[in-house]
Amino acid sequence: MADPLHGVKLEEIITSLVEEYGWDELADRIRIRCFANDPSIKSTLKFLRRTNWARDKVEQLWLQTFAP
């Protein structure tokens, strides 16, 4: 089975989730500080690239929301 995340950039994942939910709801759904305190795409990318557990949660939310 093909990986639904193959070819999807982390920045695209974050951007689409922010457009769908907004920062406040993302902070409610996934408890990470970069969503709640002065959020930005750049700071979120930096954090998620270093923090595998948080990246996994963000990818799972994206799959639940957008995967066919």
Provide the number of structural domains found in the chain: 1
Residue 5 lies in a domain: no
Give a yes or no: residue 15 inside a domain.
Answer: yes
DSSP code string of 3-62: -TTTT--HHHHHHHHHHHHHHHHHHHHS--HHHHSS--HHHHHHHHHH-HHHHHHHHHHH
What is the tens place of the pLDDT at every residue in 14-43? 999 999 999 999 999 999 999 999 999 999
Is it the case that residue 5 has pLDDT exceeding 90? no
CATH number at residue 41: 1.10.720.30
Residues spanned by the domain of 52: 10-63
pTM of the model: 0.91
